[in-house]
Amino acid sequence: MLRLILGRTDYVGINAGLTFKLIEGVKQLDGVPNVRLGPLGRALVNRVFRELGLDCDATHAVDLRGVIEECSYLPSSVRFMDNFNAGELSKSLNSIPLPTIEPTSTLIGLALASTLRVNTEFYSDLWPRLTDALAQLKALGVDIAVHSSVFDTNRVFVFDEVVRRFISYPRVDGIAESNFNKRIEVINNSNRRLIEERNAPIRPYALAEPREPIIDEGILTTVEALIKDLGGVATLKALSDMVGQEAVLRAIARGYLTYNPGDMTVRVTMRALSLLNTIRHGRGDGDAVEG
């Protein structure tokens, strides 16, 4: 079942699996499951990147955390967890700390559903541009609920059911007699019906907020060494000898350094300078640090 829910994020989209909504009484996971991506998961992530024109690539990505951390164009960071059981996640409803900010929300929702093969509920305003990706999820045989604030009548046919806040547009002299917010419209393959709000499956909820970007200690050491000890530019070998090749390659992949294959040099970027400025002014005190 592929369901689109418009304008009612309090509407219950799935009864078991993963939801982006933090609901009282529902198990709240410490982070988003850091799934190991397979060919389908990587293909869907790259589909989002290509649609938006982002200079990121998941072709060789190992896990979801790596995709999020290595694409410097994504506007929000999330907390991940490594200890989870996909079988257990499918038996009950689990809340994950996934903000609704795009394109992170859509990207993670697609990756989780395609990799874990469990019911998944996520927010997406990008869905009209990704109907092929949604059709691929539909073939997995799990329930997918996509919450959104946008509607495209020409691309809605990929969904099995559409749920939306019922809004009528009365004549000006009839506004006083109209009731906009108390009914929900449900359309599927067999019927169309209006449900009074008091009879609809809705639950109060909260949403996770983006967390501070993770600061990789190896990258920080690399940036500091290049700026303070080597003047901001050095050969790849010289910097690698100082801090280790792995840290240098991570810094390049995540946009803190640029590499010139012509003369085999590395240089700092504005992102690296911004990182040092953040640390200098104490904004990084509460950031998570990875070794």
pLDDT tens profile 70-129: 787 777 678 899 999 988 999 999 999 999 999 999 999 999 999 999 999 999 999 999
Q: Is the pLDDT of residue 188 over 50?
A: yes
Q: Tell the burial category of 235 from Cβ atoms under 10 Å away from its Cβ (0-12, 13-18, 19+).
A: middle
For residue 239, the SS3 value is helix
Encoded tokens for 237: 């070998």
- Which residues lie closer than 8 Å to 200 by C-beta, 6 or more apart? 8, 11, 184
Domain ranges of the chain: 2-207, 215-290
Rounded Cα distance, 275 and 269, in Å: 10
Q: Which residues pair with 32 in a beta bridge?
A: 80
Torsion, Cα of 251, 254, 258, 259 (10° steps):
70
Encoded tokens for 221: 């050491």
Q: Which amino acid is at 153?
A: T
Q: Would you state the pLDDT for residue 171? A: 55
Tell me which residue has tokens 């640390």.
Answer: 279
For residue 28, the SS3 value is strand
Q: Tell the burial category of 244 from Cβ atoms under 10 Å away from its Cβ (0-12, 13-18, 19+).
A: middle
pLDDT tens profile 45-64: 999 999 999 988 899 888 99
CA angle 187, 190, 195 (to 5 degrees): 40
Rounded Cα distance, 148 and 179, in Å: 22
- Which residues lie closer than 8 Å to 79 by C-beta, 6 or more apart? 30, 31, 32, 97, 211, 288
pLDDT tens profile 253-266: 778 899 999 999 99
The pLDDT > 70 percentage for the chain reads 89
> Quick one: angle between helices 217-224 and 245-253, nearest 10?
90
Rounded Cα distance, 226 and 78, in Å: 28
The CATH class that applies to domain 215-290 reads mainly alpha
The pTM of the full predicted model, rounded to 2 decimals, is 0.76
